């Protein structure tokens, strides 16, 4: 399989599908991640909270933990829109890497950047046979997340956790709340399917290839 995870910022794919990506890599699949923004940002007082350099360095370290090849966009945080430029960046990766499986932001996400990247992912990956949407935060929306696809990550939770911890600047800012939240989410999802931990997704499309039946 040639797998592409698409995120708006460094840490989105780690939070939303890091366990699945580590599992793909362990299975010998070609696994790529495209992060659209440089991911540095300032607060409402115009004070830099996270520099582009630090965000990129931490993102690279996180992907090494998961065994994922990283491709970086050059958009600015909170300034990304559903544009031809974004669509073409994603499409170029899909075509050049012969991508057959995509993980992307959930369309119901309330974050501005996540929404733009989610729309672009649906548009640019419309010919990819398998696509799942993930959640990378806990914020409510007026759209229900349809948790209808599960992946057992019991053996890969520690790698996912390490990839999140690789974002040291975010850990210093937010503490362990993201790890605690997604650990609980993984345990709850796992309980629903009878495993220790799982990641849950909403299906956009999923091509199933059935074995050929000999009718003779």
CB 33 within 8 A of CB 63: yes
What pLDDT, on a 0 to 100 scale, did the predictor assign at position 53? 80
CB 124 within 8 A of CB 87: yes
Return the domain boundaries, the chain.
2-206
Candidates 189, 117, 108, 116; CA nearest to 147 is 189
pLDDT in tens, 145-187: 999 999 999 999 999 999 999 998 877 777 788 899 999 999 9
pLDDT in tens, 123-144: 999 999 999 999 988 887 888 8
d(CA 49, CA 207): 42
What does CATH list as the number for 2-206? Answer: 3.40.50.10320
What pLDDT, on a 0 to 100 scale, did the predictor assign at position 42? 59
Question: Does residue 189 register a pLDDT over 90?
Answer: yes
Mean pLDDT of 208-213: 80
pLDDT in tens, 44-79: 565 566 677 888 888 999 999 999 999 988 888 777
CB 9 within 8 A of CB 54: no
């Amino acid at each position: 399989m040639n797998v592409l995870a698409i995120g708006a910022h460094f840490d989105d794919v780690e939070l939303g599908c890091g366990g699945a990506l580590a599992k793909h890599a362990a299975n010998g699949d070609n696994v790529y991640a495209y992060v659209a923004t440089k991911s540095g940002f300032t607060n409402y007082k115009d004070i830099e909270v996270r520099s582009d350099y630090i965000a990129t360095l931490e993102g690279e370290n996180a992907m090494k933990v998961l065994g994922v090849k990283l491709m970086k966009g050059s958009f600015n945080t909170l300034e990304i829109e559903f544009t031809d430029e974004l669509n073409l960046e994603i499409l170029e990766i899909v075509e050049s890497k012969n991508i057959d499986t995509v993980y992307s932001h959930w369309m119901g996400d309330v974050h501005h950047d996540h929404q733009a990247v989610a729309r672009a992912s649906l548009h640019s990956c419309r010919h990819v046979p398998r696509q799942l949407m993930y959640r990378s935060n806990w914020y409510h929306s007026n759209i229900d997340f349809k948790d209808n696809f599960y992946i057992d990550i019991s053996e890969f939770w520690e790698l996912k956790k390490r990839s999140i911890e690789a974002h040291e600047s975010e850990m210093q800012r937010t503490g362990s709340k993201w790890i605690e939240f997604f650990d609980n989410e993984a345990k709850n999802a796992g309980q629903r399917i009878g495993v220790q931990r799982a990641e849950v997704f909403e299906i956009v499309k999923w091509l199933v290839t059935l074995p050929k039946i000999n009718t003779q």
